[in-house]
Structure 1
Amino acid sequence: MSLLKVVGLGKSFGGVKAVDGIDFELQAGQLLALIGPNGAGKSTTFNMINGQIRADRGSVSLDGTELVGLPPRQIWRQGVGRTFQIAETFSSLTVVENIQMALLSHQKKIFTFWSPANKHGREQAMRLLEQVGMLEQADRPCTALAYSDIKRVELAIALANEPRLLLMDEPTAGMAPKERNDLMALTKKLVLERNMAVLFTEHSMDVVFAYADRMIVLARGRLIAQGQPDEIRHHPKVQEVYFGTGKTFKLDKTAERAHAG
């Protein structure tokens, strides 16, 4: 049974159909890449699933629960986590304090003068940091981190909600090739360990073809193809949309090794 089911999803802005009746499903334990050229409707689709934009029509259900019409906070409470293209952390806090704040929110707790937040859930926060490879930097301020490490902290923050579905918006934007592959290899490992699902948008085709289990491709608001990476790589309509005709996607050597492994 699919964890996420999207049926007939649509959104118009004025007379423009930004997303025009798309359908797809996502199972637990899978990474699904949502790709398409600029203006394809990726961000609108993403934001409708997350509740930041309300759909005009169609359905988004998570394990049978309808999400359309719910605000982002309630969708988050249903077990939908999110990371952003520009990583968002509390720069004035340490790494571990960022995770502790996320745990407080997840557990619906508040802190007072008599019960400071930095005493809450430190052990659990440290376990999350260990999972994303940031344990040794737990007590450093976020302002002192490299950008790739901030992305790992953001991932740990998202995991504090124990999500069943994780939405990742351009997770490797601004990162070097090795950093991109390290982050996505970690994400794939966590998907399998936690049996969660990940829907991600990404401009790096190396990342997409190396790590996605399945792909959906949008163009001008419509779904033009879906399937496994090898199917999408040779799909004539996808090639036409991205390149014109006569070309196919190629991976760099780092991504090729990851794909082979």
Structure 2
Amino acid sequence: MSVLSVRDLSKAFGGVHAAREVTFDVAKGEFLALIGPNGAGKSTTFNMINGQLKPDSGDILLEGASIAGAAPRTIWRRGVGRTFQIAATFGSMTVVENVQMALISHHRETYSLWRAAGEHHRARALELLGYVGMQDAADRACRELAYGDVKRVELAIALANDPKLLLMDEPTAGMAPRERNDLIALVKRLVLDRGISVLFTEHSMDVVFAFADRIIVLARGRLIAEGNAKTIREHPKVQEVYFGTGKTFEKVTS
């Protein structure tokens, strides 16, 4: 059984069809890239899967059970983690406190009055920070960190609910080439070590072609191609929608 099954997913805004009968699966432990030119429907599809948008039609199955139209909080509690294009952390809080807050929410202790928040799950928070290489910065304020390190903290937060599926929206946006390759290599190791499935959107083709197990391509709301890096590079429809000339993808190096 697939971890995630998207079936005939559609969404329109007025007369604009942002997603049209999009269908794909994400297997257990798969690192799947969702790409497409601007306006292709990537964000709309992503936000329907995560619950920010309700689909007009179609279904979204997490391990066989429908989550279509469920609230983001419900979907998170079902085991779906999420990172955002613009990293979302509390700058005035320390690195470890940011992760502790996610753990408190995961364990439904938000309204617990028995202990101060800083006493909850610190050991587990430090363990998660260790996974992403940020344990040494645990007691620094997030606002003091470089942007690449904030992205790592956000990843630790996304792992707080022990996700079966991790959704990553433009995880390397705003990062230098070496930083983005290091971050995606880290995520790939987590996929292999912990069996987490990952669906990510990304504009950096060097990252996509180097790390994705499989790639799906959207254009004007429709899925037009899927396959490995070689298949996508050589696909005539993909070349057309990205370049309009039939020009092939060129490998990008850092």
Q: Distance in 1 between matches of 2:9 and 2:94?
A: 40
Q: Distance in 2 between matches of 1:165 and 1:62?
A: 9
Q: Distance in 2 between matches of 1:26 and 1:112?
A: 36
Deviations 1:52-89 (CA, angstroms, capped at 9, x unpaired): 00000001001011011211111111101100000001
Aligned pairs for 1:80-99 within 5 A: 80-99=80-99
Q: Distance in 2 between matches of 1:157 and 1:164?
A: 14
Contact 2:19/2:41 (CA < 8 Å) preserved in 1?
Answer: yes
Counterpart residue number, 1:218: 218
Deviations 1:164-196 (CA, angstroms, capped at 9, x unpaired): 011000000000000000000000000111101
Q: Distance in 2 between matches of 1:36 and 1:63?
A: 26
Aligned pairs for 1:97-112 within 5 A: 97-110=97-110
Deviations 1:76-132 (CA, angstroms, capped at 9, x unpaired): 111011000000011111001111111000011136565111111111111100000
**2:209 equivalent to 1:209:** yes
Counterpart residue number, 1:157: 157
Q: Go from structure 1 to structure 2 and tell me whether the alpha carbon gap of 1:14 and 1:108 turns closer, same or farther (over 3 Å shift).
A: same
Counterpart residue number, 1:174: 174
**2:73 equivalent to 1:68:** no
The one-letter amino acid of 1:189's match is R
Gaps of 5+ in 2: none
SS at match of 2:38: coil
Fraction of identical pairs, as percent: 65
Contact 2:48/2:69 (CA < 8 Å) preserved in 1?
Answer: no
Counterpart residue number, 2:116: 116
RMSD: 1.1
The one-letter amino acid of 1:56's match is D
Contact 1:163/1:196 (CA < 8 Å) preserved in 2?
Answer: yes
Q: Distance in 1 between matches of 2:135 and 2:37?
A: 37
Q: Distance in 2 between matches of 1:81 and 1:238?
A: 29
* Residue 4 of structure 1, CA deviation: 0.5
Counterpart residue number, 1:129: 129
> Could you state the TM-score of these two structures normalised by the residue count of structure 2?
0.97
Deviations 1:128-160 (CA, angstroms, capped at 9, x unpaired): 000000011111110110000000000000000
> Could you state the TM-score of these two structures normalised by the residue count of structure 1?
0.95
* Residue 253 of structure 1, CA deviation: 3.0
Contact 1:27/1:197 (CA < 8 Å) preserved in 2?
Answer: yes
Counterpart residue number, 1:242: 242
Contact 2:206/2:253 (CA < 8 Å) preserved in 1?
Answer: no
Aligned residues: 254
SS at match of 1:5: strand
Counterpart residue number, 1:58: 58
Counterpart residue number, 2:38: 38
* Residue 245 of structure 1, CA deviation: 2.9
SS at match of 1:191: helix
SS at match of 2:193: helix
Counterpart residue number, 2:186: 186
Counterpart residue number, 2:2: 2
Gaps of 5+ in 1: 255-261
Q: Distance in 1 between matches of 2:114 and 2:195?
A: 38
Contact 1:206/1:250 (CA < 8 Å) preserved in 2?
Answer: no
SS at match of 1:32: strand
Q: Distance in 1 between matches of 2:18 and 2:47?
A: 12
Q: Go from structure 1 to structure 2 and tell me whether the alpha carbon gap of 1:112 and 1:196 turns closer, same or farther (over 3 Å shift).
A: closer
